[in-house]
């Protein structure tokens, strides 16, 4: 029902891609966050790998006591 009412008022639906392409995107800015998110993902992966390796060293040291 709401969809029909909106169409009568001339409102058109847009998907996410269309919304980011209209007027430069959110608040008139066109931001590509993929490089930032990629770097954050890489940093987190390396951090957790380091923590895992350190925990392995600690567990082996405790087992040798």
Shared domain check, 22 and 42 = no
Report the pLDDT value the prediction gives residue 43, as an integer from 0 to 100.
96
**Statement to judge: residues 63 and 51 lie in one domain:** yes
Number of independent structural domains in the chain = 2
Task: Give the range of the structural domain holding residue 63, as residue numbers without chain letter.
Answer: 32-65
Per-residue confidence (pLDDT) for residue 53, from 0 to 100: 96
Going by C-alpha positions, the residue among 9, 28, 12 that lies closest to residue 20 is 28
DSSP 8-state code for residue 25: S
Q: Which two tokens stand for residue 47?
A: 């951090």
Task: Give the model's pLDDT for residue 65.
Answer: 86
Residue 58 confidence (pLDDT):
96
CA proximity to 30, closest of 40, 17, 14: 17
**Do 50 and 64 have their domain in common?**
yes
Question: Model confidence over 6-53: pLDDT tens digits?
Answer: 666 666 676 666 666 665 545 556 667 888 899 999 999 999 999 999
One domain, residues 36 and 65: yes
Same domain as 58, residue 42 = yes
- 24 near 30, Cβ under 8 Å? yes
């Amino acid at each position: 029902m709401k969809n029909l009412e909106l169409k009568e008022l001339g409102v058109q639906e847009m998907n996410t891609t269309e919304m980011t392409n209209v007027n430069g995107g959110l608040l008139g800015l066109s931001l590509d966050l993929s490089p930032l998110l990629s770097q954050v993902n890489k940093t987190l992966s390396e951090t957790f790998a380091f923590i895992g390796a350190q925990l392995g060293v600690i567990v082996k040291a405790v087992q040798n006591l």
